[in-house]
Amino acid sequence: MAQQHLDPPTDSAAGTGPRAAPAPLDEGGAPIGDALAGYLRAQATEFLRSLRQHRETGAAASGAGESGAAARSLRRSARRISGSLHTFRPLLDADWSEGVRPELAWLSGTLAREHACAARLERLLGALNRLSGTAALPVQAGRAPAPKGNLTVGAAKAGALLDRQLTLARTRAHSAALQALGSSRFHAVADSVALLASEVPLAPSADSADLRPLAAAAQDRLTDAVTALPLVAAGHPYNAEALVHGLSADTAPQPQDAPWHQVRLLLRLHRYASEVLHHGECPVDVRLLGAGQALNRHRDAAEAASAAASAARTPRIAPATAYALGVLHADQRHEVEAARFAFQQTWQKEAVRTP
């Protein structure tokens, strides 16, 4: 199993002298509470840096360029802080950490929405292009170019409808993000993170506590959730499971997707816990990386399928538009099924040494 070693973060909290910063390992070499404090300080510093950058580059650019990169970086550290507060909860001041976690979740959720709308639109328009197949159509001897018929009009109209709906959603998400960043609620979060950057509110005697049992518990929660997935079915290609309720009257997100989304979150928490343990020299586990990518694809395809179904409920659309949206919905649900298959294949591979 190939492994790479990431460069240590430049603002690593692993001290060089015994006094400047406490050593993050105990005498037996176990990562201890101080390593957690170092990780949280580094993420908080990154959060504040991204926030400063986001303000400097101006928030007018919607999701693209430097402003977009700063927003992504902000979300990235918010997720890591929030996740670590969750996994290592017993080692932190309970009141403080219970107070700040939902606020960080609110922030990263609000900031994520604009990017998600843009990515969803890109995915759906890409799929419509692929399904129309005009670009990829091989020229065949004696075959005149196909006349533009009903269905191509349908695909074009479906694309325009999705563009309109998702661009509107994106604009709203952008305004909501701007509003959030100017709110007093946000300033309270930023103050909490600023505190974290200077002094992590550890629980009494947590600075020398072994981190490994809590990290192992996070891994166990992941393993248990994966065990509960229908992996045998997912491992049989073309099992047609993902589209089973493709025409059901229930417009809520498909209940069959929920356990997979949950594994995606638990996988992320496990990764953050590994980052804490391996602070400065985090091994990249390609198996977990592949599994995470499959679950991201699963989530993206499920949300795109849902957006296509939702667009089809727009009043007064043409039948050809609705037909194209139906094909698109089914296509994305098959992507969901393909992602589950990919996850199963990746997960099956021999587990590499994990901490």
Residues in contact with its own copies by the rule CB under 8 A:
128, 130-134, 136-137, 140, 143, 146-152, 154-155, 237-238, 240, 243-251, 255, 309, 312-313, 317-331, 334-335, 337-338, 341-342
Shortest spacing between CB 313 and its own copies, in angstroms: 6
What is d(CA 38, CA 21) in angstroms, rounded to the nearest whole number? 9
- Enumerate the β-bridge partners of residue 25: 31
String of DSSP letters for 147-173: P--HHHHHHHHHHHHHHHHHHHHHHHH
- Closest approach, Cβ 171 to its own copies, in A, equals 26
* Cβ-based nearer residue to its own copies, 29 or 319: 319
- Give, in order, the Cα–Cα distances in Å from 321 to each of 309, 311, 332: 12, 10, 16
CA dist 300 to 80, 105, 124, 291, Å?
Answer: 21, 19, 10, 14
Q: Rounded to the nearest 5 degrees, what angle is found at the Cα of 117, between the Cα atoms of 111 and 118?
A: 100
Which CB sits closer to its own copies, 176 or 229? 229
Residue 151 or 180 with smaller CB distance to its own copies: 151
Measured from the CB atom, is 7 or 250 closer to its own copies?
250
In the complex, the smallest distance separating the C-beta of residue 245 from its own copies, rounded to whole angstroms, is 4
Residue 298 CB, shortest distance to its own copies, in Å, is: 12
With beta carbons less than 8 A apart as the criterion, state whether 212 and 31 touch. yes
- Integer distance in angstroms from the first to the last C-alpha of the chain? 15
What does DSSP assign to residue 255?
G
Of 303, 306, 301, 285, the residue nearest 337 (C-alpha): 301
CB of 52 to its own copies, least distance (A): 43
- CA dist., res. 177 & res. 170, Å (int): 10
Q: How far is the CB of 127 from its own copies (least distance, A)?
A: 9
Nearer to its own copies (CB atom), residue 33 or residue 159: 159
Q: Least distance (Å) from its own copies to the CB of residue 227?
A: 19
Rounded to the nearest whole angstrom, what is the least distance from the CB of residue 17 to its own copies in the complex? 54
Give 10: exposed, middle or buried? Use CB within 10 Å, 0-12, 13-18, 19+.
Answer: exposed
**In terms of CB distance, is 73 or 152 closer to its own copies?**
152
Between 36 and 121, CB nearer to its own copies:
121
The two structure tokens encoding residue 154: 């349908």
Nearer to its own copies, 181 or 305 (CB): 305
3-state secondary structure 264-330: HHHHHHHHHHHHHHCCCCCEEEHHHHHHHHHHHHHHHHHHHHHHHHHHHCCCCCCHHHHHHHHHHHH
Instruction: State how far Cα 193 lies from the chain centre.
Output: 21
